[in-house]
Each structure stands twice: as structure tokens, then as C-alpha cells.
Amino acid sequence: MHELYVHPLPVRIWHWINALSFIIMIVTGIQIRYIGLIDIMSFKAAVDLHNGIGFVLIANFFVWFFFYLFSDKIRVYHPELSPMKHFTASFRQMKFYGYGIFKGQPNPHHVSVYHKFNAMQSMTYQIVMLLLVPIQFFTGVLLWDVERFQAGINVFGGLRVVDTVHVLIFIFFAGFIFIHPYLASLGHTWSAHFKAMITGYEEIEDEQA
């Protein structure tokens, strides 16, 4: 067993701010949408917190964005350009989570500094970070001040369309926030990946000769 420094400090800071903020955003989002059904806090408090944390998340996104943009670690997000290789790796990973893991088979993905995501993670995070999160931020800012951004809202089809897109992505994240830590618990111990995201070092099992 050896340790590999996979998660640089800026990424860890970004990750934990993101994690906490996403939980707050989901809780306040549910409170805003279901006022009367759920009353954890007042509508006004939920809206203010949702707006404030939303801007924290946007700022935090740029921490992630600029770190990867100006470091060689951006290679972790490089897409696999061969669809065949990508889907073969994805299928192998799915097979592991759906079958191999129950049989105690080893994870087919081996973490390295520049290849820390398995094929499924790689595809998911590219979609999440480069598509869903920016759309969520964009629609969120439009909804934050509807009058100021009325022209933009109209371009995208109106308030109801913008809100529906925002809510659909919110629904995805509401599910994701449960699945993500569960998948993170599927390391060689349940806490291995959590610890790694605090220390920066992933524990890697040495390959047997």
C-alpha cells in the first residue's frame, strides 16, 4: 500500500466548499419550492441564503476553473477521444459496480495523478462541471433578479422555461448528493476516499507481482 498525492489543496478546498454549499442549496431550494409543506426556515431566509450561497458557489467554481486551467492537472478532465475505448472502460466500470463488487473483484480503475477518474466519473464530471453547473449558475443568476435580466430570460423562452431548467438540474443534484458519497465509500475501506479528499493522498493498493 502506498499513498499518491492526487487531490491538490485548491481542489480539496473547492470540493468541501462545494459539498457544503450544495447541501445548503438543496435544502434551501426544497424550502423555497415547498414552503408550507416543509418549514425549516422562513421563505425569506431560505431565499436570502439560497442567493448568497449561490454566489459563493459561483466564486468557488472559478477557483476550480482557474486552478485546472493554469495547471497541468487539467489532464484529469481530458476526455477519452476514442468512443470505443471510452465505452469499453465505462462498461467495465459499470460491470464492476453492478456485479464485480459483489464478488469482491478489484476495481478495474487504477488511480494515478493524471487519471484519477474512472471512465464513468470522467464522463459524469465533464457533463456536471462544464454543462450542468454553468447552466445552473446562469439560470440561478437570471432568477435572482428577474427584472434586471428580463431580456435574457425572454431570449431563453421566459421565466417558466428558465425556472423549469433550474429545477430539473436541481432535481439531478438532489439525487446526486446521495449517490456521490455512497460511491465515494466504495474504496478499499469505506472512508478511504473521504480521507483522501482531506489529506490529498489516495491510498493505493500495491499490485501483486
The nearest distance, CB 181 to another protein, in angstroms, is 8
- Quick one: which of 66, 71, 106, 189 contacts another protein (CB under 8 A)? 106
Answer whether 81's CB lies under 8 Å from 111's CB. no
Please tell me whether residue 79 binds another protein under the rule CB under 8 A: no
Q: How far apart are CA 53 and CA 18, in angstroms?
A: 10
Q: Kindly identify the residues of this chain, within the stretch 119-148, that bind another protein according to CB under 8 A.
A: 144-148
- Quick one: which of 87, 137, 176, 194 contacts another protein (CB under 8 A)? 176
Answer whether 153's CB lies under 8 Å from 142's CB. yes
- Quick one: which of 63, 113, 132, 141 contacts another protein (CB under 8 A)? 113
3 state SS for the chain: CEEEECCCHHHHHHHHHHHHHHHHHHHHHHHHHCECCECCCCHHHHHHHHHHHHHHHHHHHHHHHHHHHCCHHHHHHCCCCCHHHHHHHHHHHHHHHHHHCCCCCCCCCCCECCECCCHHHHHHHHHHHHHHHHHHHHHHHHHHCCCCCHHHHHHCCCHHHHHHHHHHHHHHHHHHHHHHHHHHCCCCCCCHHHHHHHHCEEEECCCCC
If the CB atoms of residues 5 and 62 are measured against another protein, the closer one turns out to be 5
Please tell me whether residue 84 binds another protein under the rule CB under 8 A: no
Stretch that binds another protein, among 9-17, 69-77, 120-128, 197-205 (CB under 8 A): 197-205
If the CB atoms of residues 62 and 157 are measured against another protein, the closer one turns out to be 157
Q: Kindly identify the residues of this chain, within the stretch 3-22, that bind another protein according to CB under 8 A.
A: 3-6
With CB under 8 A as the rule, give the number of residues binding another protein. Answer: 68
The nearest distance, CB 171 to another protein, in angstroms, is 5
If the CB atoms of residues 62 and 95 are measured against another protein, the closer one turns out to be 95
Binding stretches for another protein (CB under 8 A): 1-6, 30, 32-37, 42-44, 47-48, 51, 92, 97, 100-115, 144-148, 154, 157-161, 163-164, 167-168, 170-172, 174-179, 182, 201, 203-205, 207-208
